[in-house]
């Protein structure tokens, strides 16, 4: 999964989808994750990074990351990159 090329992501966490006109805001950790996705980092790499950076257990990371990824999918700001995901 990666962030679509046309998605505008500001440093304040404001996300704008120019194709649909939808916009929403993410918190600083959400912004960090989206930026890593923009850099084409894979899910496992991102989860490892979060685990090392924040005081959180692996199960919580798994659950919260899954929820966040699904939310991004629902907002239609992501596209699947099969090579990266496999």
Among 10, 12, 18, 39, binds another protein (CB under 8 A): 18
| Residue 20 binds another protein, judged by CB under 8 A | yes
Rule CB under 8 A: say whether 56 interacts with another protein.
Answer: no
Is 70 near another protein (CB under 8 A)? no
Q: Which two tokens stand for residue 9?
A: 């992501």
* 25 counts as binding another protein under rule CB under 8 A: no
Choosing from 6, 12, 40, 53, the residue that interacts with another protein (CB under 8 A) is 6
Q: Is 16 in the site for another protein (CB under 8 A)?
A: yes
SS (H, E, C) the chain: CEECCCCEECCCCEEECCCCCCEEECCHHHHHHHHHHHCCCCHHHHHHHHHHHCCCCHHHHHHHHHHHHHHHHHCCCEECCHHHHC
**By the criterion CB under 8 A, which residues form the site for another protein?**
6, 8, 16, 18-21
């Amino acid at each position: 999964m990666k962030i679509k090329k046309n998605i505008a992501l500001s440093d304040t966490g404001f996300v704008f989808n120019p194709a649909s006109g939808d916009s929403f805001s993410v918190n600083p950790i959400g912004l960090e994750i989206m930026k890593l996705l923009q850099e084409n980092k894979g899910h496992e790499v991102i989860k490892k990074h979060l685990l090392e950076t924040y005081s959180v257990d692996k199960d919580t990371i798994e659950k919260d990351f899954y929820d966040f990824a699904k939310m991004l999918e629902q907002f239609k700001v992501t596209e699947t990159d099969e090579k990266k995901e496999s």
